[in-house]
Structure 1
């Protein structure tokens, strides 16, 4: 599997190691807990007692018949402080590049459909957590944000930041990771003129849900009874113009956008705004369905929090929390990719069944425990 080989080669690359360690002298001595072994251990879903997890890990790694204490929990804690959490982000970027190269992406009317959304996670009760991430109701909490592919479930970019960082600020940070020819879906907490202008500046497309009372133009559109309209939006308030300046866009510029009215089953109307102005290529009736696909990112947060036990951190430092978060994102992406690659095999095996069979994600992640070590460490046949 070329994708697995690519990750393995990264973990053995001296330049990659040098980039993702804290100090030049880190991971230079010959020890059992090498850079590669440390990364693999964190990917291997450590959830129970740390020493037990380490003993099991090295039994599998060394193909031993019984467990023994090769590395102590104290040594692991010391070693992980030398590892930058960004290592898992870099490995995920390599994974995403491999998926692109293999032509596995799905498109909608020529565009990759992505979604951005945020969440929060409770952190270990440590003073360092509150100092760095902040708190809510006296408990340390971090803000999460993801850039997510709604077709294959892959997380392209993820953030774990202090709770005071807003969702729109996170969206700004995701923009640098948007692929060309993509459409990004946002819920109604994100619209803002500076974000509209940023998308136009970077020649990227979006579809957002607007609060019904967003501004006078939206109120007038709702009263008009029109199904759609194309309008120019401007930063009409001093605060909005300040946000534009801070984001690096022209505060006096206007952005041409398209409004879409969607009638809900409840009889209420919601308004979508998009940069897709071509009515022939993107007729009005396609937007309700494509916007509904944004719910995939809500499901993905449930995967992280429930199946991957996101709040069960393997350490109590800020570094450990960041490592665990990004390691679980990478593990989730690997599991979803393997699920996607196995689906044709399962369909062929059960082709005579009435119902379509699918890989169970929870079972797949469970089976990756320790198996992932073999996939990333053992030589893979080239033929």
Structure 2
């Protein structure tokens, strides 16, 4: 085994060392007296259990977790599901956000983040999350068609598939508002990609104020400048855009921005294989450093955040939450993102070995994400509690043998399908 998977374990151990730090515990508990007594459901054990992604019946998950944690030969009932539900109320969901930030700090320190033309390539996108039918959830997050629904928005690194910042808020906050909230979490020297639901003059101004580069798709009738560009037949042009929308001018003033400041925006025409024309707007004005030919493929990379929601909702069954409270839902989504980031990091570190072993094959290959996450179930807990080179080697072999072919350029037409079954939160699957 190469040293790369071992570096993954070192990163994870640095994260778990935080779980014993008194200052860290004090920051992420809901009351100063919590986690001061010696109990089975300690601060560390609660976090490890939630990272273990409990998706079946809680009592079943707890018994299996403590068997792994204690290295027992048989399952025993160490704590009850009711005790866990009470204990988790003492834990702030911010702990998983803090651990995720610590993870990316470690990746920065080790130089594991990739760049495009010297820029971190990021994307922002949102989705909805259906919640259990509980009045407290409906009051906190809001409803859609009378059912509790939350808005999920993610700032993602497209080159590593790492989720940098996740929002779980009321649907009353629109996508542009979420994008604005993500900006302070975007690293310096980044290029952020947005789809055509995001463009607004006030957001352009805020991005420039934050010194963040951007690339957005516009509708062909977004503004008179865009309509003139489409009619001109040009493929690339830099225009001066002014704020005319009453709402956008109001938001600018509320944000302390000057709505009368004209913006220099570069417009690029892209003709899709279907013959459809799309217009991209970017703050990258240097035509020599960033020729127009780069942008069609560059914008297509935004699809990575779309497939990430498929990972969250299908593979990690995000909406199959382990509790029916606001606290539980928040803990689950942030724990889910942290586990996903850890799994993807391990697979990325193994990728050079996979490429070397499959160099003779016609197609490129990568580790299968679903199998990778499945292998971490219980194994991650065991590795953290009882580090073993043999166990880590075995985990790497299992992940390295579960591969998927990479087929670039594939495109399938979207088809309208019946809504996916949401299941019933009251009945959990067996393991």
Give the TM bin, normalised by the shorter chain. Answer: over 0.9
Instruction: Indicate which of 194, 207, 210 corresponds to 2:215.
Output: 207
Shift of 1:380: 6.8
Any unmatched runs of 5+ in structure 2?
Answer: 1-8, 390-431
Instruction: Indicate which of 64, 72, 75 corresponds to 1:64.
Output: 72
CA distance in 2, matches of 1:238, 1:296: 34
Any unmatched runs of 5+ in structure 1?
Answer: none
Shift of 1:135: 1.1
Instruction: Indicate which of 155, 173, 187 corresponds to 2:181.
Output: 173
The residue aligned with 1:97 is 105
CA distance in 1, matches of 2:319, 2:168: 12
CA distance in 2, matches of 1:267, 1:349: 40
Instruction: Indicate which of 111, 131, 142 corresponds to 2:119.
Output: 111
Shift of 1:308: 0.3
CA distance in 1, matches of 2:30, 2:348: 36
SS at match of 2:132: coil
> 1:107-159 deviations in whole A, cap 9, x for unaligned?
11111111000000100011111111111122111100000111110000011
> 1:150-205 deviations in whole A, cap 9, x for unaligned?
11100000111011111111000100011111100000000011110111111110
CA distance in 1, matches of 2:363, 2:200: 45
Shift of 1:250: 1.6
CA distance in 1, matches of 2:365, 2:44: 36
Find out whether 1:146 has 2:130 as its counterpart: no
CA distance in 1, matches of 2:204, 2:92: 34
Shift of 1:302: 0.1
| Alpha-carbon distance change, 66 to 294 in structure 1, aligned in 2, over 3 angstroms | same
The residue aligned with 2:327 is 319
- Summarize the alignment of residues 119-158 of structure 1 with structure 2, pairs less than 5 Å apart: 119-158=127-166
The residue aligned with 2:278 is 270
**TM-score between both structures, scaled by the size of structure 1:** 0.97
> 1:67-91 deviations in whole A, cap 9, x for unaligned?
1111111110011001111110000
The residue aligned with 2:85 is 77
> 1:344-375 deviations in whole A, cap 9, x for unaligned?
22233344444333211000000100011023
The residue aligned with 2:354 is 346
The residue aligned with 1:24 is 32
CA contact (8 A) 1:206 1:276 kept: yes
The residue aligned with 2:42 is 34
SS at match of 1:12: coil
Q: Cα RMSD over matched residues? A: 1.2
Find out whether 1:195 has 2:203 as its counterpart: yes
CA distance in 2, matches of 1:67, 1:105: 41
Find out whether 1:296 has 2:339 as its counterpart: no
The residue aligned with 2:51 is 43
> 1:266-322 deviations in whole A, cap 9, x for unaligned?
222111000000111001110111000000000000000000000100000011001
- Summarize the alignment of residues 327-366 of structure 1 with structure 2, pairs less than 5 Å apart: 327-366=335-374
